[in-house]
Amino acid sequence: MLDGSVTWPTMERTREATGAHHEVGQGQLFFSMTDRRGIITAANSVFVDLARFARDELMGQPHSIIRHPAMPSGCFKLMWDEILDGRPFCCYIHNLAKDGSTYTVFATITPAANDMFLSVRVRPLRRDLLDEALDWYAATRPVELAAREHGINRRGAAAVGSDKLAELVTESGYPSYDDFQWTALVAEAEARSAVPAGLETRPGATGPLATMLICCHTLAAELRRWSGHQADIAHMARSLTEGIPHLLGAAASATQTATSLRSACRPGQEGTREVQFLVSRLAQMSRIIDELVAHLREFRRSCQDTRAYVALAEIHTDALSQFVVEILDDGPNDYDRDAVDQVCQALDVDFTEVSERSEENASYAATMAHELDRAHALIADRQTTVAKLAESLPPATATLVPQITEELATVERALGLIEHLGHEAAALAIPQDTHLAEFQIAHLLELMDGLAG
């Protein structure tokens, strides 16, 4: 699906969508490798079949050979901005086959070794997210075409389109396109795991390729275990952040009431110094809670990212497994060694990301549990301060003290629930052991080297 600044071959410029559609099969995955110019260097047979081109017509051609005219250029600009900066990109996309028929996919594009890019596509299973993305495209493409009609060049129109997409994404409730793409990636991976198709097997196969297929199945089983564990952590992180609005509201209310109490004190009035002291301590409490909330949100983001990289690894493993089956069935081609190597390199990056991010999660969770304990102790101290203050204030200014006391109790209750979840998260968020997965990748490459030799 890569489509950058490359030029379509002349014969493809006038191709139009016929209105016909064909679907990606439930268990089908297909992939291609492209260089920095978007030129196709490798593809599996599923890609060739769905694109309805001969393999020779695809190899060496720009990936835009299958670009659908309904797709906004802004989507591809977003993609190139991400992958050229070394980050993966995911999106729903319409592709155009040689005969003009449309097939729709969920695509992941990741930087690979030697300035190459790996694109793996699957059948979209989350219709709600697909429809949302297609609605954005339908609203963006006319904006781009209007920009071209007003004399803006193709690159400029793509920038207009990416801005429009960003606007539509935020209007739909996502902080950024990154949030949408990770949401879609995890949702699609979870939907795929619920489909009982499973990886293909070849019980009668022998030799290195049969062993490679066993490695793929071992990887898939390991990733399912990772996925369940990371999903539990992400759920815990989400539960933690769900209490944030209540906590912030209660803390802000207590601070505001204390400020009102300070305003009620006249200069030189008895208890003024005590009120000022209380207000300063509550302001400190508010700052600590703000810091805690920021930490909670960072923890949730980190957990979401870790879960997304596990989902990406699951898709890459499924693609690798299907490719090995194709080699078993059809025999190896000249490009197979490089293609397997690139997919394995992408998986190695996935595992590195999961390992490093899960270590960060564990560190975040341990620090967060400590901060929650500290904040809880601070609230208890503030309640004691308020109780002592009430004894020294004149009746005219002490009327707000019971309200502050109740608001602090509300803060304490909100913190208590989060504190409990925080300690559960700290116990759950242990670093992910990726050694078995890394061993399988190394073994796969050794087997492919032997086959190529």
- The predicted-structure confidence for 21-44, as pLDDT tens digits, reads as follows 999 988 788 889 999 999 999 888
Superfamily of domain 10-167: PAS domain (3.30.450.20)
% of the chain exceeding 70 in pLDDT: 91
Report whether 305 contacts 357 (CB < 8 A).
yes
Residues 6+ positions from 386 with CB-CB distance below 8 Å: 278, 401, 404, 405, 408
pLDDT reported for residue 452: 60
Whole-angstrom distance, CA of residue 396 vs CA of residue 239: 42
pLDDT (0 to 100) of residue 183: 95
For residue 377, name the pLDDT band (cuts at 50, 70, 90). Answer: confident
Give the model's pLDDT for residue 4.
Answer: 41
Using alpha carbons only, how large is the chain's radius of gyration in Å?
28
> Domain-by-domain residue ranges, the chain?
10-167, 208-452
Q: In the predicted model, what is the mean pLDDT of the chain?
A: 85
Residue 185 corresponds to which tokens in the numbers above? 């990636």
Segment 251-266 mean pLDDT = 75
The pLDDT of residue 7: 35
Report which listed range, 104-108, 214-218, 384-388, is most confident: 104-108
Strand ranges (E), 113-225: 116-122
The answer on pLDDT for 13 being more than 60 is no
**Average pLDDT for residues 187-215, to the nearest whole number?**
82
pLDDT bucket at 61, cuts 50 / 70 / 90? very high
Q: What is the pLDDT of residue 397?
A: 64
User: Over the stretch 109-141, which tens digit does the pLDDT of each residue have?
Assistant: 999 888 899 999 999 999 999 999 999 999 999
The pLDDT assigned to 1 comes to 44
Two tokens at 104? 């729709």
Q: What pLDDT is stored for residue 2 in this prediction? A: 46
Tell me the per-residue pLDDT of 291-340, one tens digit each, with 9 for 90 and over: 888 888 888 899 999 999 999 999 999 888 888 888 888 877 777 778 88
Which whole number is the average pLDDT over 405-419?
A: 81
- What pLDDT is stored for residue 14 in this prediction? 46
Comparing 94-103, 142-151, 254-263, the range with the smallest average pLDDT is: 254-263
Percent above pLDDT 90 for the chain = 41
